[in-house]
Amino acid sequence: MSNDVDERVVDEVEALKAILMDELIVRTNESGYPVAVETVVFPSTADDALQQYVCLTLVVELTPGYPDVAPDILLRNPRGLDDSVLGRIDREVKEKCESYRGQAVIYELIELVKEYLTASNLPSCQCAICLYGFREGDHFTKTECYHYFHSHCLACHVTSSEKSYQEELDKLPAWQRNQHPQSPCQVLCPVCREPIQCDMNMLSSAAPPLDVENARQFELSDELRSLQRQMAALFSHQKRRGGIIDPEAEDSKLLLVTDTTEQEGEDDPAGPSVLFPPAAPLFNSTSGSTGSSVPNRGDWRRGGRGGYRGRGNSGSHHNRHGRRHHQAAATSR
Amino acid sequence: MTALPRRIIKETQRLMQEPVPGISAVPDDSNARYFHVIVTGPEDSPFEGGLFKLELFLPEDYPMSAPKVRFITKIYHPNIDRLGRICLDILKDKWSPALQIRTVLLSIQALLSAPNPDDPLANDVAELWKVNEAEAIRNAKEWTRRYAMDN
């Protein structure tokens, strides 16, 4: 074996050790001659490990005759990389080995893999806004709180937050609005509600995520249809027993309640007429005789949208209680 | 009909593939933004044994704005009014696009386990819940038995 010692190999491995230090593992034979080297390759992110979502162990088996013979390459423990990316790296690595015959290639291989990982350095979680993953070519944003969104999706969230903020502001009386002039809309992270800063110019120029564009259409399965039938049956059953809310009947009941409470002089200053205004029902659930209570879309627009905002109920309720609400499940992940 | 956003399709599929215990939600045949929902009354609550029908609608700008949800089955609860409307912060100003149909329905189920008469929507119910909780719970059980049972 010792006859096969090639100074070029010894020099190359020494140089690699000097560059990579303890990141390089060298396997040697019984005479101490290197037979294989391996290192874990990360994307280049200025050594910020938190921004590294993918990695790969590159194993270079120094075949007898290397560097005049191409080494054997193994790509081990790929993380966050799908098979197509891995296949491309494998092909490129082998091509490079061929073209570098007779020369030291290991450092070139490490650089090549690093380049690929940097290009494929994507978080493997889903975007909490569109519920799709991050694909190569997707523009995405990491918030200060380390949550990931497609830039396009986050732009929609920012625009929507600003719009609702302006709407709330417009509802305030002028004197209250003037109390905090120019206070800007603080956008919150959709996942953890931490305040976040966004560069809207950058966000809004991003294209929609690729997976969303390619997703399959939805079709009702037999299972769904059977569930629909069960629900319709339950609805009819509850309707027979008088268990279904009839918004129209409730409205006329409320008119009576208003009268009696006024006569009895109950101590509720707002009175039930404010708490239960005879408003248009939220859903037009009395229409349709099939037992399913589906509003047509037109009804929704009228009843759902205009009705929701215009209804006195939520307003009086919130004013009376200082905008307190139930603390419901956090959106923690 | 304009194309259904992919997110809605994905949520619907996930609701089928990984159903939430005690909650079923099925899109309507003619309107995929309208869901028929059944929430079972939580154990150890006055609503135990009840099957409550709700309707849930995803507005045009969902998930940027919250789904509209209301109870269809009558329920005796301080935070749900006679028209079935629900007082829940995540359905109003605490909405976030990271919430989903399943998280909304889980929150509503949690509200059944933990009524909050200090922040009422159904004022007469909340009043009784505060002054005579035992009687309010009896009423809630009675309503559940009368209106929300399957048999």
**What's the pLDDT score for residue A216?**
64
Per-residue pLDDT at A306 exceeds 60: no
Per-residue pLDDT at A275 exceeds 70: no
**What's the pLDDT score for residue A323?**
40
Does residue A64 belong to any structural domain of this protein? Answer: yes
Local confidence band at A159 (pLDDT 50, 70, 90 cut-offs): very high
Q: What stretch of H or E contains B54?
A: strand B51-57
* Structural domain containing residue A196: 123-171+185-211
Per-residue pLDDT at A260 exceeds 70: no
Q: What is the dihedral of CA A202, A205, A209, A210, to 10 degrees?
A: -130
Per-residue pLDDT at A172 exceeds 70: yes
Residue-averaged pLDDT of chain A: 75
Give the minimum alpha-carbon distance from A177 to chain B in angstroms, rounded to a whole number: 18
Range in A144-158, A216-230, B95-109 the model is least confident about: A216-230
Terminal-residue alpha carbon distance, chain A: 57
- The mean pLDDT value for A211-229 works out to 75
Under 8 Å between Cβ of B37 and B24: yes
Residues A41 and A92 in one domain: yes
Beta carbons of A231 and B111 less than 8 Å apart: no
Give the minimum alpha-carbon distance from B126 to chain A in angstroms, rounded to a whole number: 12
Per-residue pLDDT at A305 exceeds 50: no
Local confidence band at A142 (pLDDT 50, 70, 90 cut-offs): confident
Q: Chunk chain B into consecutive blocks of 10 residues (it has 151) and report each block's average pLDDT, rounded to whole numbers.
A: 76 89 91 94 96 96 95 95 93 94 96 90 87 95 92 69
Question: Which of A268, A297, A328 minimises the CB distance to B123?
Answer: A268
ipTM tops 0.90: no
The yes or no reply on domain B6-147 and CATH 3.10.110.10 is: yes
Q: Considering only CB atoms, which chain B residues are within 8 Å of A190?
A: 96-98
Chain B residue whose CA is closest to A299: B57
B87 given a catalytic annotation: yes
Rg (CA), chain B: 16
Which tens digits make up the pLDDT trace of A64-96? 999 999 999 999 988 767 778 889 999 999 999
Local confidence band at A297 (pLDDT 50, 70, 90 cut-offs): very low
**What's the pLDDT score for residue A220?**
74
Range in A103-112, A249-258, B30-39, B69-78 the model is least confident about: A249-258
- The mean pLDDT value for A43-58 works out to 79
The domain spans of chain B are 6-147
Judge residue B47's burial from the number of C-beta atoms within 10 Å of its C-beta, 0-12 exposed, 13-18 middle, 19 or more buried. Answer: buried
Beta carbons of A243 and B24 less than 8 Å apart: no
Determine the angle formed by the axes of helices A7-20 and A106-119, rounding to 10 degrees.
40
Give the minimum alpha-carbon distance from B101 to chain A in angstroms, rounded to a whole number: 12
Does residue A316 belong to any structural domain of this protein? Answer: yes
Does residue A228 belong to any structural domain of this protein? Answer: no
Residues A19 and A86 in one domain: yes
Does residue A190 belong to any structural domain of this protein? Answer: yes
Residues A273 and A197 in one domain: no
Range in A23-37, A241-255, B19-33, B95-109 the model is least confident about: A241-255
Under 8 Å between Cβ of B68 and B11: no
- The mean pLDDT value for A93-119 works out to 93
Does residue A331 belong to any structural domain of this protein? Answer: no
Q: Considering only CB atoms, which chain B residues are within 8 Å of A292?
A: 28, 36
Chain A residue whose CA is closest to B151: A237
Q: What is the CATH number of the domain that holds A104?
A: 3.10.110.10
Based on the structure, what is the number of domains in chain A?
3
Local confidence band at A331 (pLDDT 50, 70, 90 cut-offs): very low
Q: Considering only CB atoms, which chain B residues are within 8 Å of A324?
A: 119
Which residue, B72, B68, B75, is CA-closest to B41? B75
Q: Considering only CB atoms, which chain B residues are within 8 Å of A297?
A: 31
**What's the pLDDT score for residue A101?**
92
Does residue A232 belong to any structural domain of this protein? Answer: no
Chain B residue whose CA is closest to A213: B6
Residues A76 and A139 in one domain: no
CA distance A44 to A55: 11
Percent of chain A with pLDDT over 70: 68
Structure tokens at A187: 């956008």
Query: What are residue A72's DSSP bridge partners?
Result: A61
Local confidence band at A325 (pLDDT 50, 70, 90 cut-offs): very low
Residue to mutate among B35, B83, B124, with most A CBs inside 10 A, is B83
Give the minimum alpha-carbon distance from B48 to chain A in angstroms, rounded to a whole number: 16
**What's the pLDDT score for residue A213?**
63
Local confidence band at A292 (pLDDT 50, 70, 90 cut-offs): very low
Question: What would the DSSP string read from start to end of B79-131?
Answer: TB-TT-BB--GGGTTT--TT--HHHHHHHHHHHHHS--TTS-SSHHHHHHHHH
